[in-house]
A and B are shown apart, each in its own frame.
Chain A
Amino acid sequence: DIQMTQSPSSVSASVGDRVTITCRASPGISSWLAWYQQKPGKAPKLLISGATSLQSGVPSRFSGSGSGTDFTLTISSLQPEDFATYYCQQAKSFPLTFGGGTKVENK
């Protein structure tokens, strides 16, 4: 199975901060990577697919980069509605696997 490792597990940040979350795949997954946002008590929301493609309606402050084994989700200027938990997921092979999640908290 492909292992997805996210870091950090949590990050404390303020509105306006730049936030970077990392996801590492072992073995490599080319660009078969998605990022999700989940708020408490809600279903996850797909933000980015194919490592870099922003889903329709997702604000442009979100961006994704990387390929192979190392990927990054960046929030360029954190907004109040962005406090949530973020997950990466590989779609290279079955079983599909998620990273452990990164909680973005208010500093």
Chain B
Amino acid sequence: EVQLLESGGGLVQPGGSLRLSCAASGFTFSSYAMSWVRQAPGKGLEWVSGVSSSGGSAYYTDSVKGRFTISRDNSKNTLYLQMNSLRAEDAAVYYCAIVESSAWYVGDWGQGTLVTVSS
């Protein structure tokens, strides 16, 4: 059974940093690209970042470029999102998700971790 367990969310002040982790199991982690998708309270879905299966290529939405860094450790079956210079508008539930092998569609999703940015 595929499992994606996000952690690392919490309350952070504006300008602060957080590192999200996503522990993956039940599939060959190193064979799949991965993504982070977020959802602000009561709002729609926003794709944040993606990384290739090897970790060699990373992609970001414009609003997080230069502030967020996606990475993965295939030896630990873990996906990361380092978030720096956090803003109020970054507050959301952050989902870790597997990218389909056919194209950059989002297949299985984790349960999400809540990030709150407030002073």
Contacts and interface: CB of A to CB of B under 8 A. Distances in A.
Q: How large is the interface on B (under 10, 10 to 19, 20 to 34, 35 or more residues)?
A: 20 to 34
B59 to A, nearest CB: 4
B31 interface: no
Contacts, number: 60
Contacts of A96: 35, 47, 50, 59, 61, 104
- Which secondary structure dominates chain A's binding surface? loop
A21 B61 CA distance: 26
Given A43-B95, A43-B109, A44-B109, A95 B103 contact: no
A34 B45 CA distance: 13
Interface residues of A, number: 22
A78 to B, nearest CB: 22
Interface of B: 35, 37, 44-47, 50, 59-62, 95, 100, 102-107, 109-112
